[in-house]
Each structure stands twice: as structure tokens, then as C-alpha cells.
Chain A
């Protein structure tokens, strides 16, 4: 992938045009040559070949079959393809239709209509293999080149999965045959087909655990195959198929590299150390060459293998040293090669076993070889925690190694496929973090907890606060513990009413916003049908149903898309208030669209690229930007980009921007931003009392809990104040509570005017007057003193010293003991804390300036009443 970006690739036709169309001025070809300038390699891709095509997500190229190649009138090289889709491209809710585990290598024959099958030939990355399988057929165990081999069992037409028709099946097979691929892999030396499902899962875990090492596995397999003639044949075929530089070759090179180490060790010591190393498993290994040594060490098959696994807690430096020594042993012990196949097989088992016990599996599978000493596995269990610790220590190390690995790999799909695989192992996590999956050293024990935690947490009581199993997958989405007892359903009419009046309750329809709904719906619908982009700006004061209406529109559109009345689209929502920084908007959008997690600047680049280049398979994106004003930055580049994308030719982006102020574009946006936002605007007027009334009544349909007049009173009050529907609902809800509260004496099942009035008073009354009336006598006198000082000076500000003199005089009039200055300061700071007064910092003591936080009239009114 890296090399691809760095070196220039030249695409040229292979052979002469097969046929040409004079009228259209197109000519067809049977193949295309991809020449890399830097590496001087040349790849020929012919019709019928399976290819990888650049996708939205650079790490996940699309899989397709090349159907046609032609040059159009404008001398552009074009290709017609038959798409295959990966599991990631299938909507989450549809994935469960499969009812089985899907490996990362499995793709689906794509029969979704509406994808553009005509692509630019320059987007072809390279050739791969796609092997058709019958549904019941097991996936062959891939040991070599797994990142370039895909399997197809079913087809996907956007609605459901179907078994491949015999026709397509044979066609696909044909295509493979043409390239000389033998498809019937036997499931040779890994015993996976007899494993129990659990075991299988762990196996995949194991595999992913050793992922960075799958190349090592290959080596291993190569070793093994070199002995058994049957496997050898197969293997050589595989190698032959591998037209790109094979990892094996690369590995061989590395194999010779660690000669620089000059460890001087006795053989037996080395063996012991080797064992340690084997137990510590590959993920710990920082770099490729060393890793391989370890595996060889295993093949070397020092059979007893009693690991003093406590050694694992040794500092990292030491383990590194060990590895160096190990590399020496490689040369010391050339007799590795003489081991027969069966023993190796057993070693494989053992290795599995080690990994299993590391993973902490308690369940003893029947598959575990008898020769494994029991003591050892318990020992390993004990130390698994220690290992995990070390793993985290080594993580940074491992990351480095992984990157090293990538850069040395010339095949672009290497990283992507391995990532995929890792994702696949955690089926419960929809979004993935490539960043984390790159750290191959992820403690694989996490997998185990992925399986176990849900059950455990269910049992756990949240209040006791027992921590959950410490290692759950990093990219698992967190969950709030479930409640212990079921939530009670509303028992009375009032409770039912309260539930319906809660703002969170989703009504069947949105009354009083039909017009706005229709406008937005039409706007988005027309853009969807046209396949173009556009912006709409929606404004309105809080609580006028902007977000609710837009969500309703999206819901309806999604329904329509599901019914195939509209082309499918992606829906992304960001909220300015839910971002910590305006630039995070990019990150969130990109994560929604592609699942990548990158930094803000990188995300901006990727998104710009995404929206400015024609994507063959990309659906229209509907983006809701809530609380737009918070995306404001000094340079306004976030807003600029957001509104610039829809204007691009191929963007297929529809933006619905929501904010409170009607004139936001004029007020805070630069001209170039406002101009891109366009003039499609809509403003939500505050609800009138009739509308509010209708909203409440529609929610209360069928529940007789409110007097008609009571609802009207609330509506009128709220409409006069703000027109905020939330307020209206909250007041009604509070009124039901008050009603319930009062009901115990008599039994009015219905909310009356009195209750509503009480609720309104509770919410809207000014607290100041009440606070002053309940203040202590001296506090009240102090307020009086302030008033008289204000009156004397004619300024609404005074120092404590000035007020103090009035205060003492007032106390004398009242016949009270005159207070000390400390007491006055205490009173002043108390009133200041309540914000009845505004006071300066208290270090000025007597010279602290004081102001009233409410009008003098209010204070006078509050004090006079008594």
C-alpha cells in the first residue's frame, strides 16, 4: 500500500484491441499491464481475473471480477467489473441474516443494483483469487497467501443472501481454472474440521494472536511440506500461483539476518530459554527475524517443554536478549529439519494448547493432547496475568515491529486483510479501530472475556461495584449494566400520562410540523433521486422540534429506501455540542462512513478525497449537523469544508445544518462559507398556544388525565414565554406529579387548573423574593442598609465600609446589638454566595464593593411585605 503510493504505476493495455466500436470510438482489450516504475515489476491482469479495486477506505479495497476492459473516446482506460462485497459492506442489521460466522476471507457475490460497475482502470490495485465454495463446504485452511485469497459462498442482493446459482458457481470456477488454480484444497494438517465450535473460535483467536506471524506459519508449513511429498506438491503450486513476491522469499532473507548476535550459550540452556520464549508467544516478539527463530525453536520440538513460565515476568530487555540467543540456536541446531511430520503436527497441537492456556480457557476441550502435562497448563494460567502485564509493556515495541513488517511487505493488501481478520474475530463490535488492530500484541485473553463478560456482568450487582473482568476487547463498545429488576410499567392513568408526556417518548407523528416535514423531505428526496448534493439550513429557537423533524424525515426516507422507492443512502449525524472541538467533526464523520479512526487533520484530507473523487460503489450520504454554530472556528475551515463538499461534482452529499439563530450565516460566517451554504433555508417558528395544545393532546390521546382547560392554560403560558415544547411537556408532567401528591386525600384522578398553576409557579417564579423573605433578620437589615446607602450616594454600588455605617445606625434604631465587622463580612459573603449581591473578591475586606443582583424595587417589595 505504501509502495503503491510512493512509486508511480503505469497502466498499459496488454495485447491489441480485440474489437473496436467506431461509433463510440471505444476499443476493447483482453488485459491490462500494470508496471511499477520503482520495482520494475510488471503484472498482467486479464479479463475474468479477480482484482482488488481502490475503495473508500484505503485499508479495505473492494473485491471484484474484471469483466471487460475498454478505452473510451476520451482515451480513458475503463473497466467493467462484477462486484463482490465484503462483510463490512453489508449493513449491520442484515448481517445477522447470515446466521453463521463469516471469516474475513469470505466475500459475497454482489447482485445489488445501483452500484456503478464501470470504473476507471487506474483504480485496479492487483490481482487476487476468489474461490467459489458450496455452502456446506468448510473454508480451506489457508496457510499461504491468505491475504490474497477470498472465498465466495453466497450472493447478496441488498435484501438477502442466496446460495450461488450453479451457473455463477461454474463461471467463477472457470475463471479460476483459467489461471490454473486448483480449488479443492484438502483441509490437511490442521485438525480444525473436527474441532468443537468453541475450539474453533479459540483457534481463530490463536491465529489472530499470532497474526503478525502468519508469515512464520507459512515458513513452518513450508518446513513441514518439504518433508511430506503430498503437501509439497500442493505447496509448490501455491507458491507458483503467488505471482507477487512471496512472503516466503522475504522471510528467508531475514532468516539469515540475525547472524550478528553473538550469544554464547550452552545448548541445554538455550533450549530452556527457547521454551520460555515459546510460551510467551509470538505477540511479544518485537521484530520479525526473532519471531521466526522462536517458531523454528518449536519445530525443533524440544518435546518436554516444561515452561518455568514465571520467567515471563522478566524485564523486557532480558527477553529481547533471550531472543537473540535463540537466533543463535538456530544455527546451533541444524537438526531441526530432520524431524518427521507427525511430530511437527503434535507440536502444532501443543502450540495451540499453550495459546489456549494463555488465553485462560478453563474448559478442557477434548482436543487437547494427552501428552500435555497438566501442571504446566495451570502454571500457565497463573502466569497469564503476568504475561498480560508484559504484553502491555511490550505493546509499543510490538507496534513498531508490526509497522516494520508492513513496510517490508510489498503487497498492499497485506495489512488490510489481517485487519479484517481481526475485526472478524470480534463479531460484536461494529466499528473498528485500525489503530488498535495494528498493535498485534493485543492480549488475546481479551477474546476470552469477550465471550464471557456479558454473562458475568449480568449477574453482578452494580452497587457492589465489583469490577468487570478486566480485559474486554479494546474496541468493544461499553455498556451500562442492565438493571436487576424489570422496570415497572405504569399502573395508573397519571403514570401512563406521565410516561407519554416525557420528552423522550417518541410520538407516532409530529403534529404541527407537517409543512416543515414535507419541505425537508422533498428536498432530500429530490437530491437523493438526482444523486447530487446540497445543503439546507434549518433554524429555530430551542424546543421547536427541529431535530425531531429532521430525524423523522430520515426515518421515513430510510423506510422508503428499504422499500426500494429510493436509492439507498448513508445517514450520518454530528452534533456540535457533542464534540470537544470543531475539528473532531471530521473524525466522527469519517468514522461513521468508513470506520476508520484517525486524527482530525488526516480525517479532513481523507474526507476531502472521498467526496471529491468519484466512488463507484459509494451511496449518497445524508449528513445532519446539529448545533452548527459550535463548529465555528476562527478560520471557519470546518464549516467551509462541510459546505464545500456538497458542491463537488461527485460528492453525493446532502447536508442538513441545524442551529438556533436565523441569521447565523450572515452573522458569523465569512462570505465564502455563507455562499456555499446556499439559500435553501427554513426556520421553525416557536409554537403557538394552539400548536402546543395539540402536541400535548396528541400525546395524551386515549388517556383521560388532563382537564381541557388545564392543557390550554399551560399552552398559553408557555407560548407567551418561549414556545418551547419541552417546557410545555415538563410542566404537564410536573402537574401530574402534583396531582398524584394531592390525590391521597381526596381522589381526583384528573389534573386540574390548580395543579397546573402550581406547577407553573414552581417553575417560573423568581426565587429572589422568597430567598430574601427567608433570610435572617440581620441579612435583611444589611439589605436595607444597602438600599439606604444607594439612595444616599445615588450610585448603585457601595463599599462594605459605607454600608457598615448605615447598618450600625439601623441596628440602633431596631434596638439590636450592633454587630462586629467580622459578622458583617460573613453576612455579606453569604448573600454574595446566593448571588443576591454581587461582591468583589473578599481580600479587599472593608473596601470590597457591593452591588445588588436584583432591582432595588424587588428588594424593597420583599422587605416591606413583612
Chain B
């Protein structure tokens, strides 16, 4: 009886856990769908008012949203657009064109030149049908066509169009900035009302605009700076982790949320968060950390603990190159140590295989007790493996003429990284360790 009950509850909690996993993952993966904006109320109002005026009054505008990566530019815009669409007077009055967006429909840096961008605009404005079955003509025709279309409209009767240019800085590099000039020009003349919103992370974006384009841009800049302090950061942490009120199993949600509250007051958790906060205020890295932590939640371990977070933080901050070093053979480790010595002797000057081999030979002959003297081709093979792992990088492209042994190389590891990696390297021979530490004394 009691066993069965236990089973029941475990089945139930399994259901709960999978629900929790689903909710949290969705929240962490789709950054913009988080539903909440943190610390950008003013910017939100500015943008909302701007777009509202475009739709309601038919006023043309242009603006740039500038902020470092992960500061919520797209989230802000999506939020505003969502709220706009819910408004009665606005709903059917705005045509949207997203270029190079990371929104659900487009991904990546798509519109690589103005021609592609124009086609995309035409497609999104659903104007391509007007051209009938004819496949769209040349770039010139395309541009003339679109400009003609936009020139036809006027403030009071045409449907306002919103152009969203994601990764705005990439459009700046298009030839003559034709697209930008035309978009801004339309926004500054009595044609179809348009609003051009650019999203970028570059602070120097205005300097990149050509003078005519710059003059036509309205210089409206909305900055997102992640300007919250640690207290707010903790609050965000709580918000992000707690379950919503509409969670089916209320008691579990209660338990979970209490636990989150406890966690946020825990000293170790605060340390972990503080550390992350010091590194970056980017909310995406917080999401990543929470994602790692929350994946530890199972039926047998239904609630998050501070240890989970600590473990996640450790994973989050490990050094990738040092990780690779852990997996190397002793011979390869020896080669890396030889390179490290060479770097110290020659003060970071590049080296070649022959130099490394000579260094290694010296070590074998004078100091090594446990090491086997490998043939040169074998050492060469090990060296090439390091090359493939990109722990070593050639200065110039390998050419047919140069002999492999004499290609100049650079080590992509810092000596501190090597020493740290050696500390945790399993079964490292003592003489190798000594050699690594001793630097010049053995000469």
C-alpha cells in the first residue's frame, strides 16, 4: 500500500519535473519570450510612443537601438511590437519588414547586399505579386520599383511600414549605403510613412554612416546598457527561476518557489552569482548558468541546490584550452613544456619543430628517467597532433617549398595555463613535472 503510494507520488513528481524542465528550458532558450523586461522601462516607453505615433498619426521616424550583445534589444522590440499589436487602433495598421532579423522567420546574417535586401523587402511587403509571374528583374528595376511603390503613398492614406534592420552595422557596409539612404530619405519626405528601426551592438555606429545618410537619420538613439546592480540581478535570478502561478501542481510550485527564495539568500549561491555578475551583466550568460544547473533536476533530486549552481558555475567558467591539455599524451605534454621553455628563453619569439625536438632531446638525455626516447617521426606525429588541436599555430600558411620541420610556429597557451593543466593531469611523471617547473635551472 505504502509502496504503491510512493510510486504514485513519484510518477506524479516525474510529471512535475518534466513540466518544470520544459518551462525553464523554454524560458532560457528563447531569450525574448521571457515575457519580462528588466531595467529598460524608459526605453520601452520611448519606443512604444515612437511606434504608436507611426501607426496612429502616420509619422515617419528613424531610430537606432544600441546596446551590447545580450542586453535585450530584440527582446525590447518584440515586446513593444507585441503590445502594439494588442492595441485596438494599431492592430491592422502596420506593415512590418524584418531584415536580417533573428526573429523566428529569419536567422543569421541574411541580407548580405542591397539586392538581396530589396528582394526580401518586396517579398515581405507582398508586392512581388504585382509583378505577375515575371521573376524579378535586375537590381536597378527592383530599386526603381520599390521606390515607386513607396513614393505613391502619403501620410494620411497609406499603411505605415516598419522596417526593422537587425545587425544594422552590416547594412552600413553595403555599397554606397544605397538601401539606408533610400530608407532614411523616405522617412524624411512626404511619402508612405515608414519607421526605420536599426538594432546594433556597435557604439560607433553613427560614425559609420555616410554624411548624407547621417544627415537623413533622425539621430534618435535608444541605448540599452544593462545598467542594473547586483540586487536587481538577484531579483532577475529569482524571477527567471521561479515557476509561474498557473503551474498545474500548486504544492510543488510552492515548494519550488520557496526553494528558489532560499537559494537567493544562500551565501554560496550569492557568491556564484556575484562572480558571474562581475564577469558579465549579460542575461544570456545567466540563462546559460541556470540552464546547466536546472538540468541536474531529476525525480530523485527534485529541487535545485547551491551545489548544483556551483557545479554549473565551474563548468561555465572552465578554460577550454586547458581542458584539451588534459587529454594529451605524456609525449605531447613534454612537447608543450619544451615550447613553454622556448617561449621563456626567446621571449615569445616563434619557434619551429626542430627547436622543440632539440629541447626535448636535451630533456631526455639529461633528466628523464621514466621517459622513453621516441624516434623523430613519432615526435613529429605528436607535434602535428598538437597542430591539429590548434594548441600550436603556424605563423604563415604551410607552403610546398618549406620543410615541415622548419615552419615557424606559435604556442597558443599561456604558461600559467600549462602549469594549471599539469597540476590536474593524471599520472604525470614526476620528472616531467619537475622539468616543467624548473625552467632554466637544469641547463
Interface residues of A (CB under 8 A from B): 388, 392, 436, 443, 446, 461-463, 465, 467-474, 476-488, 490, 495, 498-499, 502-506, 541-543, 577-581, 584, 587-588, 627, 630, 660, 722, 724, 726-727, 730-731, 733-734, 737, 741, 762-764, 767-768, 770-771, 774-779, 801, 804, 808, 816-817, 819-823, 826-827, 830, 833-836, 844-847, 853
Give the chain A neighbours of B161 by CB distance below 8 A. 480
Interface string of B133-151 (1 = CB under 8 A from A): 1100011100111111110
Q: Quick one: given A478-B130, A479-B149, A486-B156, are A774 and B178 in contact (CB under 8 Å)?
A: no
Kindly list the 8 A-B residue pairs having the minimum CB-CB distance in the complex, ordered from nearest: A542-B215, A820-B319, A774-B225, A478-B149, A487-B58, A777-B278, A478-B130, A763-B219
Give the chain A neighbours of B45 by CB distance below 8 A. 741
**B83 is an interface residue with CB less than 8 A from chain A:** no
- A474 lies within 8 A of B143 (CB): no
Q: Which of A579, A776, A853 lies in contact with B280, CB distance below 8 A?
A: A776
- A474 lies within 8 A of B131 (CB): yes
- A477 lies within 8 A of B413 (CB): no
**B369 is an interface residue with CB less than 8 A from chain A:** no
Distance in angstroms between the alpha carbons of A388 and B134 in the assembled complex: 12
- A481 lies within 8 A of B159 (CB): yes
Most interface-central of B139, B159, B216, B225 (chain A CB within 10 A): B159
Give the chain B neighbours of A826 by CB distance below 8 A. 279-280
Distance in angstroms between the alpha carbons of A737 and B53 in the assembled complex: 11
**B95 is an interface residue with CB less than 8 A from chain A:** yes
Give the chain A neighbours of B91 by CB distance below 8 A. 463
In the complex, what's the smallest C-beta–C-beta distance from A586 to chain B, in angstroms? 11
Minimal Cβ-Cβ distance residue in A for B410: A847
- Residues of B161-207 whose CB lies within 8 A of A: 161, 176, 178, 181-182, 185, 187-192, 201-204
- A776 lies within 8 A of B281 (CB): yes
**B414 is an interface residue with CB less than 8 A from chain A:** yes
- B58 lies within 8 A of A483 (CB): yes
> Which one, B121-129, B300-308, B356-364, is touching chain A?
B121-129
- B176 lies within 8 A of A630 (CB): yes
- B212 lies within 8 A of A577 (CB): yes
Give the chain B neighbours of A392 by CB distance below 8 A. 133
Q: Quick one: given A479-B152, A580-B178, A821-B321, are A472 and B60 in contact (CB under 8 Å)?
A: no
Most interface-central of A506, A587, A734, A767 (chain B CB within 10 A): A767
Give the chain B neighbours of A726 by CB distance below 8 A. 188, 215-216
Distance in angstroms between the alpha carbons of A392 and B132 in the assembled complex: 10
- B89 lies within 8 A of A833 (CB): no
Q: Quick one: given A726-B188, A771-B203, A830-B280, are A483 and B140 in contact (CB under 8 Å)?
A: no
Q: Which of B66, B92, B227 lies in contact with A461, CB distance below 8 A?
A: B92
On chain B, the number of residues with a Cβ less than 8 Å from chain A's Cβ atoms is 97
Give the chain B neighbours of A584 by CB distance below 8 A. 140
- A834 lies within 8 A of B203 (CB): yes
Q: Quick one: given A580-B178, A830-B282, are A774 and B95 in contact (CB under 8 Å)?
A: no
- B66 lies within 8 A of A470 (CB): no
- B410 lies within 8 A of A483 (CB): no
Give the chain B neighbours of A505 by CB distance below 8 A. 190
Q: Which of B147, B185, B322 lies in contact with A820, CB distance below 8 A?
A: B322
Most interface-central of A481, A483, A498, A727 (chain B CB within 10 A): A483
Give the chain A neighbours of B227 by CB distance below 8 A. 774
Give the chain B neighbours of A541 by CB distance below 8 A. 211
Give the chain A neighbours of B92 by CB distance below 8 A. 461-463, 484-485
Give the chain A neighbours of B181 by CB distance below 8 A. 577-578
**B101 is an interface residue with CB less than 8 A from chain A:** no
**B31 is an interface residue with CB less than 8 A from chain A:** no
- Residues of B49-92 whose CB lies within 8 A of A: 49, 56-60, 66, 68-69, 85, 89, 91-92
Give the chain B neighbours of A801 by CB distance below 8 A. 348, 414
Give the chain A neighbours of B318 by CB distance below 8 A. 820, 822
14 A/B residue pairs, CB under 8 Å, sorted by A? A462-B126, A478-B146, A478-B148, A478-B152, A480-B161, A504-B60, A763-B219, A767-B223, A771-B223, A774-B225, A778-B279, A826-B280, A827-B280, A846-B414
Distance in angstroms between the alpha carbons of A820 and B314 in the assembled complex: 11
**B239 is an interface residue with CB less than 8 A from chain A:** no
Give the chain B neighbours of A487 by CB distance below 8 A. 56-58, 155-157
- A472 lies within 8 A of B129 (CB): yes
Distance in angstroms between the alpha carbons of A102 and B67 in the assembled complex: 60
In the complex, what's the smallest C-beta–C-beta distance from A547 to chain B, in angstroms? 10
**B221 is an interface residue with CB less than 8 A from chain A:** yes
Q: Quick one: given A462-B92, A734-B220, are A835 and B204 in contact (CB under 8 Å)?
A: yes
- A474 lies within 8 A of B280 (CB): no
Q: Quick one: given A504-B60, A767-B223, A847-B412, are A835 and B126 in contact (CB under 8 Å)?
A: no
Q: Which of A731, A822, A853 lies in contact with B319, CB distance below 8 A?
A: A822
- B147 lies within 8 A of A484 (CB): no
Give the chain B neighbours of A763 by CB distance below 8 A. 219-221
Give the chain B neighbours of A737 by CB distance below 8 A. 49
Give the chain B neighbours of A846 by CB distance below 8 A. 412-414
Minimal Cβ-Cβ distance residue in A for B416: A808
**B93 is an interface residue with CB less than 8 A from chain A:** yes
Give the chain B neighbours of A768 by CB distance below 8 A. 203
Distance in angstroms between the alpha carbons of A750 and B186 in the assembled complex: 29
- A482 lies within 8 A of B159 (CB): yes
Q: Quick one: given A737-B49, A771-B225, A778-B278, are A485 and B93 in contact (CB under 8 Å)?
A: yes
Give the chain B neighbours of A588 by CB distance below 8 A. 144
Q: Quick one: given A727-B215, A801-B414, A820-B317, are A463 and B201 in contact (CB under 8 Å)?
A: no
Give the chain A neighbours of B125 by CB distance below 8 A. 480
In the complex, what's the smallest C-beta–C-beta distance from B411 to chain A, in angstroms? 8
In the complex, what's the smallest C-beta–C-beta distance from A654 to chain B, in angstroms? 23
- B178 lies within 8 A of A577 (CB): yes
Extra 16 A-B pairs, beta carbons < 8 Å, given A467-B129, A726-B215, A822-B317: A392-B133, A468-B130, A472-B132, A473-B132, A478-B127, A479-B149, A480-B150, A484-B92, A504-B189, A730-B220, A734-B220, A777-B279, A804-B414, A819-B317, A821-B321, A845-B393
Distance in angstroms between the alpha carbons of A361 and B280 in the assembled complex: 66
Q: Quick one: given A480-B149, A482-B159, A822-B321, are A468 and B126 in contact (CB under 8 Å)?
A: yes
Give the chain A neighbours of B219 by CB distance below 8 A. 727, 730-731, 763-764
In the complex, what's the smallest C-beta–C-beta distance from B38 to chain A, in angstroms? 14
